[in-house]
Structure 1
């Protein structure tokens, strides 16, 4: 009698992943934003990309990433990589953000922590590989305020944004001929984005605060695809060249608006609940054209020892429909370089088996505001900490941590400069799930 064997360590890990799945589902529907960028008010907010901590730590390279430490890895950003899977992979993680915003002589600091990713990849032997999961797509988080007066009546107007969009996906990759792989991800976007205007009177205790909340309920399907060609260079080296892209997928934004009033308060930290609804109405549905994306890159690796790579990215937001009072988006270009090294895979010393990762990325974002290009750049670092192998060497896991130290925006033309530290924490399990016992 043959039985399927799943290691006890994997069962414990599954409980961890399922617990994170419940957390992810709760936060996904709650739409808690981790963005604190004033530039997230444009488009669909701060785009998160389909990257795991391993590749974020290397500048965000992804097109040519197929192997890490000489073994196949889960690379959501290029589904062609799924064809190389030889073990079941479980990925789960969290995301943290620390931001300093500066304008003129003023600064402000913010911080947040939220769900990062949840994904599972399953090898299908000669039939390729399958992956599915849930990852953030974008989020919105901005705020600004100004004080004004009419005669002796002083009031404050504040603008803020909240919410986010999640992406559930399933993907498949296959290798039709030796060395060449193709794959695709089908995704479903869902989430709410909120744009809020609040008027509060500063010297009239009996006046009501007024809030106007416009909601964009986002729904739609996406299709991403990729190609990779991998070739051994002698006995020691391997070269992988890759391309990944995304169609200009059409999604739907269902918009509605609600105006409420609440008791006035002079305490900035007190938020009074709405006492009445003045107006509530649907604003209709609109079709949004997501950007056409292209990403081409390569990686060169030497077995378990090291890997280096680079990506060039192009995204066209020109056809994305923007509100009339906002600047239109344009084309975006980006470059990423990075790599990792493991000092000595055969060493008995733990720190010689740790993966050390480093990278750099530069992006010309699609936003031009007040005649200034809003550019984004960051230095990235990371570590991969291996855990003890279990299940007779069939199960091995790793804790991956990445940090992005970057800057977006400028102080010119009275704009906001954003300096940030993004921390990504991931837990990876590699396991052979379907092994037949040699003895009954």
Structure 2
């Protein structure tokens, strides 16, 4: 007997991994935010959640997801699902958004894209499954401008936030008894969040521009866990009930501040380099408590044909140590419903083999601003486009696309309403990397 490694697939997968890994490292160190939400100034910014395009397309239903199309899937939201894997699964993708910000009678449109995720799941047979990868944890991206005057001197103040936090993780899941699975993820959070204040004098040609840049360097570990119970209902149906959660993990924010001056710029897209640094100092280190989370979910599926599910999510941000002048964060509640259908898995028509996904989600965020609760809701749709099988059916791939049409915030109390379209594109490879054969 011997073990045959599939070199062709390994070469393709390695090239894809290398390319997306370089992209992910570049994004991680460049810290270019894909958020354009004014509400990302609170806490650690817009939370991205551990969702892949497959589950985002179903409203974020994920806690009870163990199988898609009757086959095990890599579900980062609940590490208990890792124990079901019977093939090596590789996931990689990109993320983009279109955002319209409205306040009173004015509106502004923005667009951006970035690395979304890269993850690998490896089955360990009766010993469960292992997963690891890199994905965004949160984004900060906001800006506001105001014009004021002192006597006859006019000046403009620009406040903006940039950056993001990334998450590298390692997870393991195992099934100690039939039908029951448990698992956990250990993550490392890292990244920089920038809060920038600029003062410009548009009508004073000889006046220097001043910029204060506060950098929060985020570092720390996170721990989340999950449980799933899966049971067959007759020969056709499967029911999975899941729970996932996280401890109120404590991370560190190392803060420093730098003030610089530069010459005035009269070109809109040009920013003059600093002439001098007037001060630079370390503000100090702060311990930050991440929220205690509880997620409950259930899914019902019929083999390759369809799946429906629902999630309820709770997170307590009340122990998070906000900065001076910031509103205290509260508790967050949310729910999601969704599902997918494959018209006819046995059909030779391609459109009958496509996965069609639909969902809805609603979240009461932990942010209360100007006595107004900030809520977020979205309708989600998506497709799972199968690619031709190879290696005699041992390797099969799929392109997953999801779109979220949502709204956050309100026009009440002079606030900003954010309407967005989030696009997620993912590429999934399922393969038996090592095949044991018998030789005559």
- How high is the TM-score relative to the length of structure 1? 0.99
Corresponding position of 2:39: 39
Q: Matches of residues 10-409 of structure 1 in structure 2 within 5 Å?
A: 10-409=10-409
Question: Cα deviations across residues 211-266 of structure 1 (Å, max 9, x unaligned)?
Answer: 00000000000000000000000000000000000000000000000000000123
Instruction: Tell me by how many angstroms 1:152 deviates.
Output: 1.1
- What's the CA shift for 1:439? 3.0
Offset of 1:29 from its aligned partner?
Answer: 1.0
Q: Secondary structure at the match of 1:23?
A: helix
Asked if the contact 1:5/1:436 (under 8 Å) is kept, the reply is: no
Contact 1:10 1:395 in 2 (8 A): no
Distance 1:223 1:270 in 2: 43
**Cα shift readout 1:107-128 (whole Å, capped 9, x = no counterpart):** 0000001000000000000000
Confirm or deny: 8 A CA contact 1:7 1:395 kept in the other structure. Answer: no
- Asked if structure 2 preserves the Cα contact closer than 8 Å seen for 1:55 and 1:61, the reply is yes
Contact 1:97-1:422 within 8 A present in 2 as well = yes
**Distance in 2 (alpha carbons) for counterparts of 1:5 and 1:430:** 15
Contact 1:120 1:132 in 2 (8 A): yes
* Structure 2 counterpart SS, 1:29: helix
How far apart, in 2, do the equivalents of 1:107 and 1:38 lie?
A: 13
Counterparts of 2:4 and 2:370, CA distance in 1? 62
Within 1, Cα distance between the matches of 2:360 and 2:172?
30
When normalised by structure 2's length, the TM-score is: 0.99
Name structure 1 gaps, 5 residues minimum: none
- How many residues were matched structurally? 440
Of residues 266-275 and 81-90 in structure 1, the stretch that sits farther from structure 2 once superposed is 266-275
Distance 1:388 1:270 in 2: 48
Q: Secondary structure at the match of 1:282?
A: strand
Q: Which residue of 2 aligns with 1:9?
A: 9
Show structure 1 runs of 4+ deviating over 4 A.
none
Unaligned runs of 5+ in 2: none
Which secondary structure does the structure 2 equivalent of 1:435 belong to?
A: strand
Deviations 1:274-315 (A, max 9, x none): 110000000110000000000001000000000000000000
Residue 436 of structure 1 aligns to a residue whose secondary structure is strand
RMSD: 0.9
**Which whole-Å CA distance do the structure 1 matches of 2:203 and 2:350 have between them?**
64
Q: How much does 1:10 deviate?
A: 4.4
Q: Structure 1: how far apart are the matches of 2:432 and 2:259? A: 55
Q: 1:140, 1:4 → 2: CA distance?
A: 47
